[in-house]
Structure 1
Amino acid sequence: MSDLPRKAVTRTAKLAALPLGFAGRATWGLGKRIGGRSAELVAREVQQRTADQLFKTLGELKGGAMKLGQALSVFESALPEEVAGPYRAALTKLQEAAPPLPAHTVHGVLAERIGEDWREYFLEFEDKPSAAASIGQVHRGVWHDGREVAVKVQYPGAGEALLSDLTQLSRFARLLGPLIPGMDIKPLIKEMRDRVSEELDYELEAQAQRVHATEFADDPDVVIPGVVHQSDQVLVTEWMDGIPLADVIADGTAEQRDRAGQLLARFLFSGPARTGLLHADPHPGNFRLLPEEEGASAGAWRLGVLDFGTVDRLPGGLPGTIGESLRMTLEGDAAAVYGLLREEGFVKESIELEPDEVLDYLLPIIEPAQVEEFTFSRGWLRDQAARIADPRSPAHQLGRQLNLPPSYLLIHRVTLSTIGVLCQLGAAVRLRDELEAWLPGFVAETEEPEPVAEDGV
């Protein structure tokens, strides 16, 4: 009953055609240059055609292909502007939309998973989807009690498609490397594979969303839709209006950008401290900017958060090692930072590095935490990416010797992705305030004074 192209041979053929297409366009571009067109003009045209093919294919296949596209989309800020320009429009389209499944397929899933009488649960149900994601699409409706709801329907065969895509994509991950300088895409794909079963389980997603909705119920800054109904492959939650973050990135005012950036940073660091869970899919399609509540101060926009299908379970909040190493780096204590990184496995026992060189590597990366307010920008992120990606740079040589322990992999990706979105926003953010409030270990614990004996001794 599925219209999702999920047969392994069909999907593999579509994905395998991507690198062939890249090579073909390079040859076409060379021919154009020989024919007398300027190299810059031809390069831009080749990049645009590459972007169109890459993200059209990833979007059409949904599954793991689209999921990788969404994950990569938050890093476009790291690309040089002459390369990023042609990609940006295609990336934004991918974040917010994909070719929809036909109504009869959606109705079939609802009948199978909710019951043949599924329409009795709704006063209204819109057949045309309002949004599409990597493993499902969302329809707007009105629940039988009058609440406006979002109905997320999982694509039939999504699990099979997800695994097939990610296996195939991992085979030519190296070809995708130039899209994001300084980032190894293969571990990203492996981590996605490892979490397939969690993402497909709408019961786990509903649990994570309920925890967040309860914790943030009275929060003045962050809004989480409540869960209305959940069954296998169908999740019904309260509907959320608002401005998609992709629209804020494209056309938002400075006030909206700064507010969205501040709240995004707040949610990133406060979420694990308050719920023991880290929202692990921070691409712009999962966030909305909502008008302030009645009676609130002017400009008090709120952040709406969607999609809790991928979370990292952190019962004690973010590891204290992150806050401690950040604090020690800001204090310039190279020996202490190096010792902590060795202890946690970021520097393997077989590797010997100079502590001062490690400090020099880290300081530019944590610049946003060094000042009272930092303006994130594509230029800043490009500089960081170039510094780490250039094989001739000391930062690149040192970075190759560092290790990322598995327990930090998802935290690292979420942090990088969030920084990518902040740079897309161009937001001025008081990041240090959020670190001091929510990140364990960032503020040094004050030692209790020793009690003085009554006789003064």
Structure 2
Amino acid sequence: MSDLPRKAVTRTAKLAALPLGFAGRATLGLGKRLGGRPADEVASELQARTADQLFKVLGELKGGAMKFGQALSVFEAALPEEVAGPYRAALTKLQDAAPPMPARTVHGVLAERLGADWRSLFTEFEDKPAAAASIGQVHRAVWHDGREVAVKVQYPGAGDALLSDLNQLGRVARLFGPLIPGMDIKPLIAELRDRISEELDYELEAQAQHIHATEFAGDPDVMVPEVVHRTDQVLVTEWMHGVPMSEVISGGTQAMRDRAGQLLAYFLFAGPARTGLLHADPHPGNFRLLVDDGPAEGWRLGVLDFGTVDRLPDGLPLPIGSALRLALAGDAEAVHAMLRQEGFVKPTIKLDPDAVLDYLRPIIEPAGAEEFAFARGWMRAQAARIADPRSPAHQLGKQLNLPPSYLLIHRVTLSTIGVLCQLAATVRLRDELREWLPGFAEGDEAESA
């Protein structure tokens, strides 16, 4: 309790300072670049300075600032290369690191949640955290039965800190707009804020993780650590080895990149179909590539952190697969009718079905190919097309609506595509869609697209 109020004031002050430097130095310059003007209009020194200010502040803070940074990091591939360069290293750090909680604080939480004799549950416990996240940190330990485990301990006061950070970020959300072209930052922050109570409850997280661990037990492609012990603020799970996805992105071989990309696509669509849950925090810090001495086809995807999930008891909605299939088949009228029926086109909005199809075609290109080479350049082209106010795609996009029931699905899909582009992976996406996305395989019109 002693220094929490002082820390809260410091956190608020740091966040409040963001608009002062960032608005003046970066918003105008980055906006010019993303609008298609010459790159030399903004000096590289300004890029580096802006990156240093923005991401250093986000990285130093726990709670909402770091969670926002993690959510933003998967869209780094959408930035023009000359802008993305200074940001990439700072973004990667946000995915896996944060200032550690003192050992005495960790011990206090463990004593409160596991009992005064908490040490008897472990034969070994490392005080130095192995990883840190937005609301807690992970310690490596050995459970009393000899299993290596990960002990996730929630920061004291994490809920208040998370809410305070996100409220503050919401007030300056417009300043972040130029970072991610075509993306409205405010709904992202609002969604993160709305899910605070769920993410703070480790017992809910344990339930979601156990469901996945049970379903994927023995799966040749995906591995989810089983839950060993749980309370509302301490979660003990089996330890998982593997290469962090951020390392695969920064230095992995092409075989590693392609395998990781294929597995990510598989888990995105197979997960909801098999468990009724959508893993809703797909940034690289939550994935590992389990590489062994065998061929790449035998490597598995390790999945962590089930604190945020979307509950989809029937899997992904049927209209997504149906609309995608119809769009690949070129049936503009049917696609338009389905989008209107699902609320993507409001009753008062009049749109040309052919224009809607033209808007969608470049975005859905990966679903129509036998295999698709995801790349930063492709994602940058999509982002620039939608962000440029002079583009017909920009004008049409402004008239589309995102129904609340599709908000999380949209963000998770877009985030996963962002990671695939960071990986520069060649992926057989259509294979996964046919197998797991309801409505997509009917008729297989994609064959003739």
Scaled by the length of structure 1, what TM-score is found? Answer: 0.92
1:201 equivalent in structure 2: 201
SS in 1 for 2:43: helix
Q: Which residue of 2 aligns with 1:230?
A: 230
CA distance in 2, matches of 1:442, 1:240: 34
Q: Structure 1 residues 41 and 323, CA, compared in 2 at 3 Å: closer, same or farther? A: closer
CA distance in 1, matches of 2:217, 2:15: 43
Structure 2 Cα separation of the partners of residues 3 and 119 of structure 1: 26
SS in 1 for 2:346: coil
Q: 1:147 to 1:388 in 2, by over 3 A?
A: same
In the TM superposition, residue 25 of structure 1 has moved relative to its aligned partner by 4.5
Q: Is the 8 A contact 2:26 2:50 kept in 1?
A: no
> For the structure 1 residues 253 and 23, does the alpha-carbon distance in structure 2 shift closer, same or farther, using more than 3 Å as the test?
same
Structure 1 segment 211-222 matched on structure 2, within 5 A: 211-222=211-222
Partner of 1:364: 362
Q: C-alpha separation between the residues in 2 aligned to 1:311 and 1:271?
A: 11
Q: Secondary structure at the match of 1:398?
A: helix
Aligned to 1:450: none
Alignment pair present for 1:286 and 2:274? no
Change over 3 Å in CA distance of 1:142–1:2 after alignment to 2: farther
Instruction: Quote the offset at 1:22 in angstroms.
Output: 1.7
Name the structure 2 match of 1:127: 127
1:71-125 CA deviation, whole Å, 9 max, x = no partner? 0000000000000000000001111111111111111110111111111111000
Secondary structure in structure 2 of the residue aligned to 1:392: coil
Rg larger in structure: 1
Structure 2 partner of 1:355: 353
Quote the residue 2:436 is aligned against.
438
Letter in 2 for 1:277: L
1:274 alignment partner in structure 2: 274
**Distance change in 2, residues 1:244/1:167 (3 Å):** same
- Letter of the structure 2 residue corresponding to residue 118 of structure 1: W
Does the 8 A contact of 1:5 with 1:11 survive in 2? no
State the SS of the aligned residue for 2:310.
strand
- Matching residue of 2:416: 418
Secondary structure class of the residue paired with 1:65? helix
The 1:80–1:6 alpha-carbon spacing in structure 2 relative to 1, beyond 3 Å, is farther
**Following TM superposition, by how much is the alpha carbon of 1:409 offset from its aligned partner in structure 2, in angstroms?**
0.1
> What is the letter of the counterpart of residue 156 of structure 1?
P
Q: 1:449 aligns to what?
A: none
The aligned counterpart of 2:21 is 21
Residue 273 of structure 2 contacts residue 315 of structure 2 at CA under 8 Å; is this kept in 1? yes
**How far has the Cα of 1:57 moved from its partner?**
1.3
SS in 1 for 2:205: helix
- Given residue 437 of structure 1, which amino acid in structure 2 is its aligned partner? E
* Cα distance change, pair 4–271 in 1 and its aligned pair in 2 (3 A): farther
Q: Note the alpha carbon deviations across 1:306-342, whole angstroms, 9 max, x for none.
A: 0000000000000000000000000000000000000
The aligned amino acid for 1:250 is S
CA contact (8 A) 1:2 1:155 kept: no
Match of 1:149 in 2: 149
Q: Aligned equivalents of 1:394 and 1:370: distance in 2? A: 23
Query: 1:240 Cα deviation (Å)?
Result: 0.5
| 1:12/1:313 CA distance change after superposition, 3 Å | same
Taking the aligned partners of 1:140 and 1:173, their CA distance within structure 2 comes to 36
Partner Cα separation in structure 1 for residue 413 and residue 295 of structure 2: 30
Q: 2: CA distance between counterparts of 1:41 and 1:5?
A: 43
**How far apart are residue 11 of structure 1 and its match?**
2.2
For 1:149 and 1:5, locate their aligned partners in 2 and report how far apart those are by CA, in whole Å. 33
- 1:81 is aligned to 81
Q: Secondary structure at the match of 1:348?
A: coil
Question: Shift in Å at residue 297 of structure 1?
Answer: 4.6
Q: 1:441 aligns to what SS in structure 2?
A: coil
Distance, in Å, in 1 between the alignment partners of 2:181 and 2:423 is: 20
Aligned length: 434
Distance 1:372 1:4, change over 3 A: farther
**TM-score normalized by structure 2?**
0.94
Instruction: Indicate how the Cα distance of structure 1 residues 298 and 87 shifts in structure 2: closer, same or farther if over 3 A, else same.
Output: closer
Match of 1:256 in 2: 256
